[in-house]
Structure formats: C-alpha cells, structure tokens
Amino acid sequence: MNGVRERLASRAFTSIAVVIAVLWTTPTLGLLLSSFRPEKEIKTTGWWTVFRAPRFTLDNYGEVLSGGGHGAGRLAEYFVNSVVITVPSVLFPLVLAFFAAYALAWIDFRGRDALVVGIFALQVVPLQMALVPLLKLFSQGWLFLPAWHLTGPARFGQVWFAHTVFALPFAVFLLHNFLAALPRDLIEAARVDGASHGTLLLRIVLPLARPACVTFATIQFLWVWNDLLVALTLSGGTAETAPMTVRLASLAGTYGNEWQRLTAGAFVAALVPLLVFFSLQRHFARGLLTGSVKG
C-alpha cells in the first residue's frame, strides 16, 4: 500500500512540475514566435495563430540589430557594451570575494567573526540607497575613480566598480559558507606538508570551490546583464557605453507600438542569459547546496 501511495505521489508531483514548466515557458515561446512574424500579422493577431498559417521573416532582427533604415535598432552596438560591462563585473567580485572568503574561513585573526557578521549585514542595504553616496564619490573624482564629467569608454570603470561593490557582500557570504565547510583534515594535512596559502588556494581550495564560484558567476551574470538602474545612472545612456537594457527601455518608450521590434530585441537580450544558464546548469545546481552538507 505504501509503495502504491509513493508512486501516485511521485506521478502527481511530476504532473504538477510539467504543468508549471509549460506555463513558465509558454510566454518565452510566444516571444520567440512573435519575433519572427511579419509586422502586419503581429499587430493584428495573437502569436498562437502562427500554427494555422505560419509565416516567418528575419526583417525584425535586421531592423533591431542594424537599424534597418529607421534608426530604431542598432542593438548590436549595445550588445557589445553589455558584454564589456558584464564580464568584468562578474570576474572582479568573484576574484576579490574568493580571497576574502578564504581569509575569513581559514585564517585566524582578531575580529574575524564580527567582520563576517558585518559583511552579511551589508546584504540588506538597498542598492538605491547606495547610489547617491557612490555618485558623490564619482563626481569628486575620489581616489582612483574617474571623474563624473568623463565620457566614452572611461565610463565603463564606473559601472564595473558599482557592480563589484554591490555584489561583494553576497559573494563573500556565499563563498565563505562553502569554504568553511571544507574538510579541516584536508587543509591541515596540506599545511603539514608545507603548502603555503597560495598553494592551498590554487591547488586545493579552488578546484573544490568550483560549484560555488559557478553559482555566484551565474547569478551575477544574470543580474548585471538584466540591470537597468546602475547602467542607466552610471553609463551615461549613450551608444558608446550603454548596455542593451538601456536601449530596450528607450525602444519601448519611443516605438511602443512597434511590437515586431520589441519582441525581436527582447529575445536577443534574453538569448545570452539562457545560454549561460543552461551551459552551467549542472554546476549551478550543485552550488546551490554549498555548505549544506559537510564532509
């Protein structure tokens, strides 16, 4: 009897999961199909009518990526900006947080526990509240930060710095939880054999911490790639430095009735995060359990 109940419960949960997956992916399917539909059809009929009389075109992507003679797109330029902004904004906090997490997990010093608590508390600070002090630092040309009046590629440094400082508390917290759960016998044995902190980091800790690093990198990539507030505030909003989210926002505001361009642009913006997530899904799933099980 218990076996029958377990099978029925398993089938019920499987059916529920399938229904949720279908409902979750249906809007994405509609977005994809709409991006290939002609302008007249997308404005007059729903995307589901494509199954009755399928007609597809690549003109929407041509207009969005290159402008198509209307000056409405040029999304390819902003796509490059998104890549230039996102990749360093992932690598900088990942590297810094990895060193900090190792120090907090395996190096004894006074005030370590208080520092861990302080870093954890920083996660509750809203990003919007930190923007105003950060803008003051940029406007005064504080230390190594570029002055606010600078334009062009120099503005990338401002966005990199902002995303790095906003991501560090969560990155340190996530990696610290994982590194602190590593077997102490393994670390102590390496120290007895004469391994330095550099050797421990590169030869032992880094390979073991790969799932946690991939998890943070995936989350940070999706966050930065889809960010609008920081990019719009610090990048200047020009084609030289603004990412795709800024261009899509202006595209929606200026051409709110041009659905064929909006659907194509939205799918171009969503394509890269989807590829990143599915390519790293195995490591991401393992990284979500970091620190939950010791040994």
At residue 86 the predicted structure's pLDDT band, cuts being 50, 70 and 90, is very high
Give the distance from CA 164 to its chain's centroid. 12
Give the residue with greater pLDDT, 41 vs 93: 93
CA dihedral 211, 212, 215, 220 (to 10 degrees): -140
CATH homologous superfamily of 74-291 equals MetI-like (1.10.3720.10)
Q: Closest Cα partner for 261 from 4, 55, 68?
A: 68
pLDDT of residue 187: 80
Residue 271, both tokens: 């394509």
Angle (CA) 148-162-131 rounded to 5° is 70
Domain boundaries along the sequence of the chain: 1-56, 74-291
- What's the CA gap between 37 and 49, in Å, rounded? 11
At residue 96 the predicted structure's pLDDT band, cuts being 50, 70 and 90, is very high
- Whether residue 191 has pLDDT greater than 70: yes
Give the distance from CA 240 to its chain's centroid. 21
pLDDT of residue 257: 67
At residue 133 the predicted structure's pLDDT band, cuts being 50, 70 and 90, is confident
- Whether residue 291 has pLDDT greater than 60: no
Please compute the mean of the pLDDT values over residues 213-217 and round it to a whole number. Answer: 89
- Whether residue 155 has pLDDT greater than 80: no
Please compute the mean of the pLDDT values over residues 60-69 and round it to a whole number. Answer: 72
Residue type at position 290: T
Q: pLDDT tens, 3-15?
A: 655 665 677 888 8
Residue 201, both tokens: 């980091």
- What's the CA gap between 256 and 259, in Å, rounded? 7
Please compute the mean of the pLDDT values over residues 210-221 and round it to a whole number. Answer: 89
For the chain, the average pLDDT equals 79
Residue 153, both tokens: 């590629």
At residue 230 the predicted structure's pLDDT band, cuts being 50, 70 and 90, is confident
The burial of 241, by beta-carbon neighbours within 10 Å (0-12 exposed, 13-18 middle, 19 or more buried), is given as buried
- What's the CA gap between 124 and 66, in Å, rounded? 41
pLDDT above 90 coverage of the chain, percent: 10
pLDDT of residue 146: 45
When mean pLDDT is compared over 161-165, 257-261, 262-266, the highest value belongs to 161-165
Q: Which of 34-38, 149-153, 217-221, 271-275 has the lowest mean pLDDT?
A: 149-153
Model pTM score: 0.79
At residue 91 the predicted structure's pLDDT band, cuts being 50, 70 and 90, is very high
Residue 229, both tokens: 């507030």
Exposure b/e, 134-168, CB count within 10 A at least 16 = b: beeebeeeeeebbebeeeeeebbbbbbbbbbebbb
Cβ contact 102:94 at 8 Å? no
- Whether residue 92 has pLDDT greater than 80: yes
Q: Which of 110-114, 213-217, 286-290 has the lowest mean pLDDT?
A: 286-290
Please compute the mean of the pLDDT values over residues 264-283 and round it to a whole number. Answer: 81
State residue 151 phi and psi, 5-degree precision: -130, 175
- DSSP calls for 136-163: HHHHTT-TTSPPTT--GGGHHHHHHHHH
pLDDT of residue 1: 55
